[in-house]
C-alpha cells in the first residue's frame, strides 16, 4: 500500500483526482496530517465516511513506533524508530534557547564512507521515502507535544544521495498547509555531491546548504572523505560559489576538528584562503570519537584558537555545542548497530 505521507500537496491533489475525488480534499487531508497530527483516517471527520474508507483501503499512514528513547543530561532526546519493515532509524531532538531542532535521518545506512563517522558502514540498506522522513518530525511532535522549529538533515545518510525524496520531504515540511516550517529553518548537510548541489540550486527552495568540508587540501580531505576523490575541493568550492550566486544564500561550512590532524593554525590559514570573499559561516565541530575510529577530539584550546583565527581574518565561525554525546546522539555518533530490529 502507498504511504499517504509520501505525497507533497501538489501530488496528493493529482492522486485524489485520479481516484475520482476533488483536489481540495488534499488540503483537508494535509491539515489533518500535519496540523492536527492525527494518526488514523477515522479522525478526519470533515471527510465523508466513504472517502475515509477509500483512503483506508488504499493508503497507509506509516505511523512509526518508538523502539527506544534515550534522554541526555543536556535534554537532548534520541529516538530509535521502527520504520515498519525490518529496519530502524535514529532521530535526535535538541533544545536550544530559540526552540527545538530535529536532526533527521535520510537513509538507512550511508554509502559515503567518511572515516570519522559511525553512520557509515558496509551495508547500505535503502533510501527513506519522503513520508518516512516527514514521519520522524510527526512522531517526535506527537510523543512530546512540542512544536519543532528547526530541521537539520544531519542524521544518518547523505541527503543529496536521496535527492528526490529529500526535496519532496522539504516541500511537505515547508508548505504552509503542511508542517509550515520556514525554509530558512531547514538545513541540508552534504558531504559534497557536486552535481546535486547544482540541482538543488535550481529548486528555488530557500533552505540552508551546509557543506561538510573538514579539510582544506585534497590529500587530507580524501583521506577523511572518499567522496573527495570524485569531487575534489576545487570542484566543490566552485559549486558552492555558483550555488551562492544563483540563490543568494549564505553557505554554512562544517569543519570537524580532529586532534593533530586538521586543527593546526596552518589549517586555519588555508581555510581562510579557501573561503576568502565567500558569503559563508563556519561551524566548528569538536570531533566526536567513534568506536574503532582513528580520530580524536582537539583540545578546547586548539578549538578556540582555530575559531579566533578565523574570526580575526574575516570568516564568521562558531563552535557547535556538543549535545547528546552521553547517549551517542552527537554528530557522527548515530550508527548502524541499531538499524536492524
* Closer of 175 and 338 to ligand SAH (Cβ): 338
Q: Is 90 a catalytic residue?
A: yes
Q: How far is the CB of 336 from ligand SAH (least distance, A)?
A: 13
How many residues line the site for ligand SAH (CB under 6 A)?
A: 18
Q: How far is the CB of 284 from ligand SAH (least distance, A)?
A: 10
Stretch 307-336: interaction string toward ligand SAH, x if CB under 6 A: ------------------------xx----
Q: Output the CA angle 216-218-219, nearest 5 degrees.
A: 110
Q: Could you write out the DSSP letters of every residue in 114-153?
A: -TT-TT--S---EEPPHHHHHHHHHHHHHHH---EEEEEE
Specify the residue for cell string 570519522.
Answer: 116
Q: Output the CA angle 67-70-74, nearest 5 degrees.
A: 155
Question: Among residues 107, 93, 201, 198, which one has the least CA distance to residue 147?
Answer: 93
Distance CA 205, CA 56 (A): 32
Interaction residues for ligand SAH, span 206-235 (CB under 6 A): 212
- Candidates 21, 141, 158, 263; binder of ligand SAH (CB under 6 A) is 158
Interaction residues for ligand SAH, span 243-262 (CB under 6 A): 254, 256
- Any residues with CB less than 8 A from the CB of 67 and at least 6 apart, and which? 80, 81, 82, 88, 341
Q: How far is the CB of 246 from ligand SAH (least distance, A)?
A: 20
* Closer of 291 and 301 to ligand SAH (Cβ): 291
Quote the DSSP letter at residue 87. B
Annotate 240-309 with three-state secondary structure: HHHHHHHHCCCEEEEEEEECCCCCCHHHHHHHHHHHCCCCEEEEEEECCCCCCCCCCECCHHHHHHHHHH
Query: Under DSSP, is residue 76 helix (H, G, I), strand (E, B) or coil?
Result: coil
Binding of ligand SAH by 116 (CB under 6 A):
yes
Query: Which residue is at the shortest CB distance from ligand SAH?
Result: 332
Stretch 180-199: interaction string toward ligand SAH, x if CB under 6 A: ---------xxx--------
- Candidates 16, 29, 47, 117; binder of ligand SAH (CB under 6 A) is 117
Q: Is 331 a catalytic residue?
A: yes
Q: How many CA atoms lie within 13 A of 300 on its CB side?
A: 2
Query: How do strand 59-60 and strand 2-3 relate by DSSP bridges?
Result: parallel
Distance CA 314, CA 33 (A): 45
* Closer of 190 and 261 to ligand SAH (Cβ): 190
Interaction residues for ligand SAH, span 135-154 (CB under 6 A): 154
- Candidates 194, 287, 303, 327; binder of ligand SAH (CB under 6 A) is 287
The window from 10-18, 134-142, 167-175, 287-295 that contacts ligand SAH (CB under 6 A) reads 287-295
The window from 30-38, 121-129, 283-291, 310-318 that contacts ligand SAH (CB under 6 A) reads 283-291
Identified catalytic residue from 15, 21, 90, 141: 90
* Closer of 38 and 110 to ligand SAH (Cβ): 110
Q: Which residues have a catalytic role annotated? A: 90, 331
Q: Which residues of the shown chain bind ligand SAH in the complex (CB under 6 A)?
A: 112, 114, 116-117, 154, 158, 189-191, 212, 254, 256, 285, 287-288, 290, 331-332
Amino acid at each position: 500500500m502507498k504511504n499517504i505521507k509520501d505525497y507533497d500537496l501538489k501530488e496528493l491533489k493529482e492522486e485524489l483526482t485520479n481516484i475520482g475525488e476533488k483536489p481540495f480534499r488534499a488540503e483537508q487531508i494535509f491539515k489533518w496530517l500535519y496540523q492536527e497530527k492525527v494518526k488514523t483516517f477515522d479522525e478526519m471527520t470533515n471527510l465523508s465516511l466513504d472517502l475515509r474508507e477509500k483512503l483506508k483501503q488504499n493508503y497507509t499512514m506509516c505511523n512509526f513506533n518508538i523502539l527506544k528513547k534515550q534522554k541526555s543530561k543536556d535534554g537532548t532526546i534520541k529516538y530509535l524508530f521502527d520504520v515498519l519493515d525490518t529496519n530502524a532509524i535514529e532521530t535526535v531532538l535538541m533544545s536550544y534557547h530559540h526552540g527545538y531542532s530535529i536532526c533527521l535521518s535520510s537513509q538507512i545506512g550511508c554509502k559515503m564512507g567518511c572515516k570519522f563517522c559511525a553512520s557509515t558502514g558496509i551495508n547500505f540498506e535503502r533510501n527513506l521515502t519522503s513520508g518516512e522522513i516527514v514521519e520522524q518530525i510527526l512522531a517526535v511532535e506527537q510523543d512530546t507535544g512540542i512544536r519543532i522549529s528547526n530541521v537539520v538533515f544531519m542524521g544518518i545518510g547523505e541527503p543529496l544521495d536521496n535527492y528526490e525524496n529529500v526535496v519532496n520531504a522539504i516541500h511537505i515540511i515547508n508548505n504552509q498547509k503542511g508542517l509550515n516550517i520556514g525554509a530558512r529553518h531547514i538545513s541540508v548537510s552534504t558531504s559534497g555531491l557536486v552535481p546535486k548541489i547544482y540541482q538543488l540550486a535550481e529548486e528555488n527552495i530557500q533552505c540552508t546548504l551546509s557543506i561538510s568540508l573538514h579539510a582544506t587540501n585534497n590529500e587530507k580531505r580524501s583521506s577523511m572523505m572518499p567522496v573527495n576523490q570524485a569531487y575534489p575541493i576545487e570542484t566543490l568550492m566552485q559549486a558552492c560559489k555558483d550555488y551562492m550566486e544563483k540563490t543568494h544564500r549564505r553557505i554554512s561550512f562544517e569543519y570537524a576538528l580532529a586532534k593533530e590532524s586538521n586543527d593546526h593554525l596552518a589549517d586555519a590559514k588555508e581555510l581562510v584562503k579557501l573561503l576568502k570573499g565567500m558569503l559563508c559561516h563556519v561551524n566548528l565541530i569538536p570531533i566526536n570519537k567513534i568506536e574503532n575510529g582513528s580520530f580524536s577530539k582537539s583540545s578546547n584550546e586548539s578549538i578556540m584558537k582555530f575559531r579566533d583565527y578565523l574570526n580575526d581574518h574575516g570568516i564568521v565561525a562558531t563552535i557547535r555545542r556538543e549535545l547528546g554525546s552521553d547517549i551517542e546522539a552527537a554528530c557522527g555518533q548515530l550508527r548502524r548497530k541499531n538499524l536492524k530490529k
